[in-house]
Amino acid sequence: MKVSIFGLGYVGAVTAGCLTKVGHTVVGVDVQAEKVESIASGVSPIIEPELDGLLAEAAKNGLLSATQNHEQAIETTDVSLVCVGTPSAENGELNLQFVRQVTGQIADKVRVSGKSHDLVLRSTMLPGSTQKIATDLLADLLESGKLRLFFYPEFLREGTAVADFDDPSLVVVGTHDGSAFPNELSPLFGADAPSVNWPSAEMVKYACNAFHATKVTFANEIGRIGKNMGVDSRSVMRLLCQDTRLNLSPYYLRPGNPFGGSCLPKDVRALTHEGRRGGEELPLLESLLPSNEAHLAKLIELTKRLAKDRVTLLGLSFKSDTDDLRESPMVEVAQHLLGRGFELSIYDPQLNLAKLIGTNKRVIDEKMPHLATLLTGDLGAALGQSGLVIAAQKCIDLETLRPLITTEHTLLDVNGWPELRDLPAHYEGFCW
């Protein structure tokens, strides 16, 4: 393919070297003359392993050129990758001035040109940015089909960027509505790259970086508190990483229920208490319980907003297949609903009040002494013909639930149970 790359900084230079390596023809564009001269002569403007060799080879083979003239680049290529900077203002706000400027230049040239063009934004931008750029600068071209617009986030790591290009840890392509990108762009994106809509593709980049930052901070805080207690946390973290089922895995990475139960809240509390006692600041670990409480408060607010009179709660314990009610978020939700005078029924086939003992029983005796009157095994009678259904757990199979749900029900999905959307009720996802 013939590709323009706008912005020959770190991302643009690496992309230029890697695309020419696999046979594409690249025209680099930058406003800085030194970078243009450097790329045009096959010399990397940045330090990055393997890049000098790739650029030298590409220039020698006639696959690489560079210019300050954007019109010339658009004329001779079919697709433009925008890799200009998106710096932060002092208040943290993102400055999209360079992306908008380059997009405007590309759009102006495509309007007067005889051929269509694909525009691929790679600069990191907050969700909604691509849509705004489309609306503000490209509406006529997108409408006529003369220009197609994609958001294609960049995940390369400096220092291993060329190796990462050959073996990417993640590739995502943002299209307007999440539909598949056109086949002819497979040589650029890779045939297997998943498509999502523009804002999701923009968000993936931030979610990844926020998660990486969280991991680093987490390991550092465990290191600090470990040292205070005479533990070498390097070996602790090595062991933690050996559990690839619960620790390094998709487990616990699904938006949904607040955490609860007898371990997570208690253990986080103990660790942060120990940190405070030893004078160690652990802002990440300290923020876990407040964040979970904020999540629960949001859930309670949403249930109160959606509830009219009758409410049925599917699942009261802190997760499926247990009767453990200790620090169960749903006990809090139920209490709030009762306090507001709603008619509440609870369906939880794992709960057998006669068998509850110890702390588990105390939770109920203190917080919901009349739980026995709320628990029901007759879900059909509890649901009636209308009302709010809070699905906190998959504690009933879908085929049993389906005939009991009418268009008059509202289904609040707290657990992330996608099939609930197919039921006739009004569906509301908790945090999606």
Ligand X SMILES: NC(=O)c1ccc[n+]([C@@H]2O[C@H](COP(=O)([O-])OP(=O)(O)OC[C@H]3O[C@@H](n4cnc5c(N)ncnc54)[C@H](O)[C@@H]3O)[C@@H](O)[C@H]2O)c1
Q: Which of 98, 206, 218, 427 binds ligand X (CB under 6 A)?
A: 98
String marking each residue 157-176 x if it binds ligand X according to CB under 6 A: -x------------------
Cβ closer to ligand X: 69 or 113? 69
Residue 31 touching ligand X (CB under 6 A): yes
Q: How many residues does the chain have?
A: 432
Q: In angstroms, rounded to a whole number, what is the distance separating the alpha carbons of residues 47 and 50?
A: 9
Instruction: Tell whether residue 282 is a contact of ligand X (CB under 6 A).
Output: no
Helical residues (DSSP H) of 168-287, grouped into ranges: 186-189, 198-228, 233-242, 264-277, 283-286
Kindly state the helix (H) or strand (E) to which residue 15 belongs, with its residue range.
Answer: helix 10-21
Q: Which residue is nearest to ligand X (CB)?
A: 9
Q: Closest approach of Cβ 210 to ligand X, in Å?
A: 14
**What SS3 state is found at 423?**
coil
Amino acid present at 330: M
Considering only 80-88, 211-219, 285-293, 374-382, which stretch makes contact with ligand X by CB under 6 A?
80-88
CA–CA distance, 264 with 268 (Å, rounded to integer)? 6
Assess 193 for contact with ligand X (CB under 6 A): no
The contacts of residue 68 (CB under 8 Å, 6+ apart) are: 29, 30, 31, 33, 36
Smallest distance, Å, CB 144 to ligand X?
A: 25
Classified as helix, coil or strand, 29 is: strand
Measured between its terminal Cα atoms, the distance across the chain in Å is 38
User: What SS3 class is residue 36?
Assistant: helix
The three-state secondary structure class of 390 is strand
Rule CB under 6 A: choose which of 102, 299, 346, 420 binds ligand X.
102
Residue among 18, 263, 395, 431 flagged as catalytic: 263
Residue 39 binds ligand X (CB under 6 A): no
Phi then psi for residue 297, to 5 deg, are -60, -40
State the Cα–Cα distance between residues 247 and 249, nearest whole angstrom.
6
| Residue 99 vs residues 27, 82, 86, 102, 322: alpha-carbon distances, Å | 18, 7, 7, 5, 52
- The binding track of 116-155 with respect to ligand X, each residue x by CB under 6 A or -, is -------xx-----------------------------x-
Nearest distance from C-beta of residue 359 to ligand X, angstroms: 48
Question: Tokens 């230079």 identify what position?
Answer: 13
Number of residues that bind ligand X (CB under 6 A): 24
Query: Can residue 12 be called a binding residue for ligand X (CB under 6 A)?
Result: yes
Residue 272 sits in the site that holds ligand X (CB under 6 A): no
Question: Which lies closer to ligand X via its Cβ, residue 13 or residue 334?
Answer: 13
56: closest CA among 68, 39, 73?
39
Please tell me whether residue 77 binds ligand X under the rule CB under 6 A: no
Looking at beta carbons only, is 19 or 371 nearer to ligand X? 19
CB of 405 to ligand X, least distance (A): 45
> Does residue 83 carry a catalytic annotation?
no
Residue 101 engages ligand X in binding (rule: CB under 6 A)? yes
Question: Greatest CA separation found in the chain?
Answer: 82
Assess 349 for contact with ligand X (CB under 6 A).
no
Number of neighbours of residue 67 by Cβ within 10 angstroms = 17
- Least Cβ distance, residue 216 to ligand X (angstroms): 16
Write b or e for each residue in 82-118: b if 16 or more Cβ atoms lie within 10 A of its Cβ, otherwise e: bbbebeeeeeeeeebebbbebbebbbebbeeeeeebb
Part of the chain binding ligand X (CB under 6 A), chosen from 98-106, 132-140, 251-259, 345-353:
98-106
What is the token pair recorded at 318? 């802190």
d(CA 117, CA 78): 5
Asked if 156 touches ligand X (CB under 6 A), the answer is yes
Q: Does residue number 331 form part of the binding site for ligand X (CB under 6 A)?
A: no
Q: Is 34 in the site for ligand X (CB under 6 A)?
A: no
Paired tokens of 426? 């009004």
Pick between residue 11 and residue 271 the one whose CB is nearest to ligand X: 11
Among 25, 26, 30, 233, binds ligand X (CB under 6 A): 30
Q: How far is the CB of 209 from ligand X (least distance, A)?
A: 9
Residues in contact with ligand X by CB under 6 A are 6-12, 29-32, 35, 83-86, 98, 101-102, 123-124, 154, 156, 158
**Would you please indicate which residues are annotated as catalytic (active-site) residues?**
263
